[in-house]
Amino acid sequence: MENIIAFIMQHQIETILLVFGIILLAFFITHWPEVKFWWLNFTYNFPIFGKISTLAKDIEGFDENHKWFYSEERLCRDYYNFYEKVDKDSESFDEAKAYLHAAGELGRKPTPTFIWIMIFILVIVEAFGFAYVLAGFTIPGASEATQQKGAVGVAAMLAILLVWLTHLTGQELHKNTLIKKIRRWYKNDNAGGSNWRDLKPDEQLITIDNTFNDEKSPNYIRMLNRLDVNDKVKATYIKTILTLIFIFAVAIGATYIRHQVLTQEIASSHEAAMNIFNDDASPFGSTDASGDDEIGALFGDDDTKGAEDDLASLFGDGNKAATSNTKKQSNASIEDETNQKGGDATFVILGLLFVFIQILGIFFGMHYDYAGRESKEAYECLRGFATKKAFLSFYEKAKTHIARVAQKQLQKLQHKMNIINDNSGTDAETTAILRNNKDRTFKQYLSFEDK
């Protein structure tokens, strides 16, 4: 853990960018409609190259049926796409609630923002844990800095991929739960002698808008009408199996790489110790051939062995020194074995922790989000409102807000079109139509768009 923290401290900029990106991604996931509406306004108001500036140049395209310029219709249509999603009434409330109830998903919620943030924090920890392990193996032969950056990239990709796979697996398991419920209800109906049809969905496609069309069907058929299932109406575990294979492959692979890194570090420490010992082993500071030649020259070539024995006697008993070295080597071997076993046990625990984190991601996928074909849209329609009054109040405000923004943008466009027309000098009829725009409002556009 200390090594991982040190690795993070060495890559503070990358860590900050990754954390910021993860938080931003979590926000986009949970507030996507608001982000899309903000982006629409940004693209229209952007100077010079914005949509208002571009559309304002088209002062010749005119719709004779509605008596509108095509550029005005284009702007209103873009905002109408958002307006119609919040154009809800009491009937919409009843339809959305009935759809979720029939699908068996009334009361479920999308993955909350804080859950996504928690998941992505775990992703960051996983990513840097992987990066530390993979640092020396991602780009062989490259510099250490390049290897570390490559390791961070590969680790982040692995972590994000695992989040996606575990979430899909959780959704698959939730869907399988509904399918098993359908089959159990169907079996009970059949055992009671009241089964009057095969287990298959109705021919008519059931959506939120016509969710009451299958009211007379059994509950399991109504649930089946809202799910995409195979022709045998059986649970499938393809995503689950692939995800589990990938999780255990990564866990085993990471543990093996950690083991190899630890073995390499122990071997490197021994090599460094041997180099130090060899440099300091000779009492004369040298153990090379020149030292042997000097001894031979001093005592004679024939008496070299005796001289070496005399030197050994002078500096202590050679057997005692050998015994001491043997003990040191034995102690070092025991220490190395202890470090290796302790390190491997730690790596196994880290591997189990990694697997547990992935199971947690699967758990979140099982308990959040939807399996029904339009269940997510139904929930977004309800917005979590328990009462119809709160539901209608919210959507009335949302409609008013979008209509005001659209009208403001339309007025900007019409004003800019008039300026361009004055500068270019078109015919009198076009000029009169451009100036007489009091009937070309977003509210008026809604009146003929809804027809």
Q: Report the number of distinct structural domains present in the chain.
A: 1
Identify the weakest region by mean pLDDT among 49-58, 80-89, 191-200, 227-236. 191-200
Residue 98, pLDDT score? 93
Q: What is the mean pLDDT of residues 257-286?
A: 60
Residue 285, pLDDT score? 47
Residue 286, pLDDT score? 47
Tens of pLDDT along 14-34?
Answer: 667 777 777 777 777 777 888
Residue 382, pLDDT score? 87
Residue 331, pLDDT score? 56
> What's at 271, amino acid-wise?
E
Residue 284, pLDDT score? 46
Within a domain: residue 352? no
Burial of 260-288, coded b for 16+ CB within 10 Å and e otherwise, reads ebbeeebeeeeeeeeeeeeeeeeeeeeee
Residue 37, pLDDT score? 94
pLDDT-derived band at 265, boundaries 50, 70, 90 = low
Within a domain: residue 386? yes
Within a domain: residue 154? yes
With pLDDT > 90 as the criterion, what percentage of the chain qualifies? 29
pLDDT at 391 > cutoff 50:
yes
CA distance 109 to 269: 54
pLDDT at 135 > cutoff 70:
no
Within a domain: residue 254? no
Domain span holding position 386: 2-237+372-449
Residue 295, pLDDT score? 45
Within a domain: residue 147? yes
Within a domain: residue 184? yes
Residue 113, pLDDT score? 77
Within a domain: residue 140? yes
CA distance 1 to 17: 21
pLDDT at 410 > cutoff 50:
yes
Name the average pLDDT for the chain. 78
Residue 197, pLDDT score? 65
Within a domain: residue 425? yes
pLDDT at 281 > cutoff 70:
no
Q: Which residue has the higher pLDDT, 274 or 398?
A: 398
Tens of pLDDT along 175-189?
Answer: 999 999 999 998 888
